[in-house]
Amino acid sequence: MLDMNWIRENQELVRNTALWKRVDPALDELLEWDDKRRVLLRDTEQHRAERNTLSKEIEQLLRRGEHAAGERIKEQVRAINSLLGTLEADLAEAEHRCGELQLLVPNPVSADTPIGKDDSENVELRRSGTLPEFGFAPRDHVELGELHGILDIPRGVKAGGPRSYVLKGAGLDLHLAVQRLALDVLTGRGFTAMDVPVIVRPEALERTGFFPGGRDQTYELNGENRWLAGTSEVSLVSLYSDETVELDEPMRLAGMSACFRREVGSAGRDVRGLYRVHQFSKIEQVVFCRNDPEASEQMLQEILANAEHILQLLELPYRIVAVCSGDMSLKTHKQYDVETWMPSRDAFGETHSASNLHDFQARRSNIRYRDEHGRLQYCHTLNNTAVATPRILIPLLENHQQEDGSIYIPAALRKYMNGLERLEAPQV
């Protein structure tokens, strides 16, 4: 959420951001309601003050025994109370409408964010690692998973419906191993690991910027007024809503959770295998820092470097992409995507997304800290994937496959795999 006074003073920037973020902030309607709200607030306060003055005058008149004059002023007070009843109801409606419309106003993008309409206009910044050159016809991750008996999609669909899966044996071991690796990297870098709720209140999704726009991507528990979170970012930020936090140093949190997304609108090759599934697991980085653009930019680079380090430990080639304005969500100020090479797609596929939100979430969530002068400030929040699985298993299996069908296990994972160096191909 943005400050209403800031919105008024930066209308053109808000309009441009809304255009590129593909949202309708209903800015004109918001400004009209805010004008009404201001007038109603002024009139309400004036009549309350007048009523208070008259009430004191009535007390003085009655003390002096001037009852007739007191009764005449009481009639004025009753008329004011009647008018105030109407004004206060209108004011409550105006404040409600302003609050609803204010939630639709997008976060302005950073000055160095590429301007574009969709992900086709994202800008590659750099690459790391060498793309594999196979001297044989490589298998995709589904074929490899079935060959090794570690992935069963048909039975997953039988139990859970489309976009479900079962990981078995070494497949589950790999799924857990990449999570353990990510947690160890993050805790070694000062992050506090947390297992957080995945069933959340609707206000948690609203305060973190996922509602009202993301309801179609979120599973609701019917009759419970609860929702399944698509990322532990929702819970990690909401843990501190309506609190004043200590930020002598940035607060670094690593959330471990199952995640649930409806994936409405995705189609084509993204549907095959493990790329877009309804249930997955993720280690998420969330950071709270001071309300200082330079400080939060530094933290953005830090959490991006953490994700890169994990991919380097997994010995996977990847690239960093600056996300353009039209591909960003309403809440994001600046975003990088990390895309890992997936041979079956003959392309890089998104595996991580690092975002700086400035004070957008903290303002919605009312999370503040005291600066060096003792003044309350809304903090900046940031988030980035450390690892999301099973999607990361796609490049892990495909890039590390050998001609005989075996799969190389990166050295960094072996201690989580009982020392296993490779998944040997079954003997046919």
Q: Which residues are catalytic?
A: 261, 276, 350, 353, 391
Using an 8 Å Cβ cutoff, are 377 and 394 in contact? Answer: no
Opening angle at CA 222, ends 221 and 226, nearest 5: 40
Residue identified by tokens 């309804």 is: 278
Give the integer Cα–Cα distance in Å for 219 and 115.
Answer: 32
Rounded to whole angstroms, what are the CA distances from 35 to 8, 25, 94, 102? 11, 17, 9, 14
Look up residue 344 and give its DSSP letter: G
Give 327's contacts (C-beta < 8 A, 6+ positions apart): 116, 118, 119, 121, 122, 335
Using an 8 Å Cβ cutoff, are 334 and 304 in contact? Answer: no
Closest to 22 measured CA to CA, from 125, 137, 104? 104
Coil, strand or helix at 51: helix
Neighbours of 130 (CB within 10 A): 8
Stretch (H or E) spanning 200: strand 199-200
Opening angle at CA 200, ends 196 and 205, nearest 5: 110
Give 94's contacts (C-beta < 8 A, 6+ positions apart): 33, 34, 36, 37, 40
Using an 8 Å Cβ cutoff, are 364 and 242 in contact? Answer: no
Coil, strand or helix at 220: strand
Neighbours of 71 (CB within 10 A): 12
Neighbours of 133 (CB within 10 A): 5
Give the integer Cα–Cα distance in Å for 214 and 274.
Answer: 22
